Structure 1
């Protein structure tokens, strides 16, 4: 019975992973569409977006904890 339980757990885990991939795809598609609309409407430029992305990426690279 242990084998069945662990196999079923694995199947459920794989199913959940597939669901997450679908959710990630739809969220990425929605975000991409929103960014493209903002650029098309002239509310932001690609350069502004790239600058902000670089700024945020730099913040994520730095450790939030002081190094001793």
Structure 2
């Protein structure tokens, strides 16, 4: 990792990292709510979702997604 030239650079970096963490949490929260709504409305099932996750993971990584 690149060293920081000043303590202020480090503070700004940590602040940006915190902002990214908050943004990531919000996006995951919205995504989770949308998935639950789709399931509640009967548009998809949990099994279909798990199958699609495994399929996409296989395409992207070449390794099987561990099914619970």
TM-score if structure 1 supplies the norm length?
0.82
Residue 8 of structure 2 is matched in structure 1 by 8
| Further displaced range: 5-14 or 38-47 | 5-14
Which residue of structure 2 lines up, in the alignment, with residue 38 of structure 1?
38
Following TM superposition, the consecutive aligned residue runs of length 4 or more in structure 1 with deviations greater than 3 angstroms are none
**Cα-Cα RMSD:** 0.9
Instruction: Choose between structure 1 and 2 for higher RCO, CA contacts under 8 A separated by at least 6 residues.
Output: 2
Q: Residues 1-68 of structure 1 correspond to what in structure 2 (within 5 A)?
A: 6-62=6-62
The answer for unaligned runs of 5 or more in structure 2 is 63-68
Max Rg structure: 1
Task: Tell me the matched-pair count.
Answer: 58
The offset of 1:39, in angstroms, is 0.1
Greater share of residues in helix:
1
Distance 2:13 2:50 in 1: 36
Q: TM-score by structure 2 length?
A: 0.82
